Amino acid sequence: MKIGFIGLGIMGKPMSKNLLKAGYELTVCDCFDGPVKELVAEGASSAATPREVAEQTDIIITMLPNSPEVKEVIIGKDGILEGAKEGTIIADMSSIAPLVSRELAGILEPKGVELLDAPVSGGQPKAVDGTLSVMVGGKEDVFNKCLPLLEAMAGSVVRVGEIGAGNITKLANQVIVALNIAAVGEALVLATKAGADPELVYKAIRGGLAGSTVLDAKAPLMIGRKFDPGFRIKLHIKDLMNALDTGHEVGAPLPMTASVMEIMQSLKTDGLEDADHGALVRYFEKLAQIEVGS
């Protein structure tokens, strides 16, 4: 089975490397030469356009920033659809608007091309160690064909419904993560301002009801002032925008999501859009005029 991978960014590159480690024959494509050359040096082949990737492969994974980029790569000029054969499968692992996934599936199906929407959670660290959580929407038989491939990059792969359900699940995930990170940052600023040691506060509460994967992942980084991107604020803004848009479309108000979105927009204005989303703590630090860990 020949696999294509389009989009070798902070997530796509390590995911591609895990496919190579698992023994898959891989053809890669990206708008930047650097990551392509790096993957080729590790055994991949390269293609100049998504169309060429489709001509050479059976299953194509896309890992791209947002809906417009996914549409361009799949149905744009020199896109996947121009080179795809009947029976080609596209597993879009980007985080995009669910309605766009459904739109694309409607365009592809008459051409004999199948689509899965299969966004991931876990950020760069889990992309590197191959333990991502993957939430998949699409036909069950198509999912089953792709399951071993997805498992080579993940610790958990769950089909959550028909096309679009993967990205709906991812939006719910991103809402929970954003609100959780904001709560951790706000709480650690409170502890610091009130004179407590934030590291000891974290150790004391992590085993109780406040404990969470987000707390364990982000509290040490906030305390240690480590804001190098595992998942950039600007990408979380994109996800929350998709969540808010979807909420408006289906009639589900998201007032807490909207509040955290405005916090992220404030950080973007302060020049922190490329910082890790754990930098949400810096918004609360600015309000309280204190730094966690100081």
Q: Where do the structural domains in the chain lie, given as residue ranges?
A: 2-162, 168-288
- Report which DSSP code applies to 278: G
Catalytic residues: 170
pLDDT mean over 161-173: 96
Nearest of 125, 94, 162 to residue 14 by alpha carbon: 125
Instruction: Give the predicted TM-score (pTM) of the model.
Output: 0.90
Q: Which helix (H) or strand (E) holds 293?
A: none
Residue 32 predicted with pLDDT over 90: yes
Phi, psi (rounded to 5 degrees) for 174: -70, -30
Token pair listed for 241: 């925008």
- pLDDT band (50, 70, 90) for residue 275: very high
Computed over every residue of the chain, the mean pLDDT equals 96
Q: How much is the pLDDT for 294?
A: 63
Residue 219 predicted with pLDDT over 90: yes
Superfamily of domain 168-288: N-(1-d-carboxylethyl)-l-norvaline Dehydrogenase; domain 2 (1.10.1040.10)
Q: How much is the pLDDT for 266?
A: 98
User: DSSP string of 125-152?
Assistant: HHHHHT-EEEEEES-HHHHHHHHHHHHT
Residue pLDDT, tens place only, 61-102: 999 999 999 999 999 999 999 999 999 999 999 999 999 999
Do 2-162 and 168-288 have matching folds?
no
Q: Are 134 and 153 in contact (CB under 8 A)?
A: yes
Q: How much is the pLDDT for 210?
A: 97
pLDDT mean over 139-161: 98
Amino acid at 3: I
Quick one: fold of 2-162?
Rossmann fold (3.40.50)
pLDDT mean over 177-205: 98
What does the alpha-carbon distance between residue 135 and residue 121 come to, in Å, rounded to a whole number?
A: 8
Residue 123 predicted with pLDDT over 90: no
pLDDT mean over 179-203: 98
Residues in the chain: 294
SS3 226: coil
**229 C-beta neighbours (distance < 10 Å), count:** 18
Q: Which helix (H) or strand (E) holds 30?
A: none
Residue 124 predicted with pLDDT over 90: no
Residue 207 predicted with pLDDT over 80: yes
In this prediction, what percent of the chain has a pLDDT beyond 70?
100
pLDDT mean over 99-112: 96
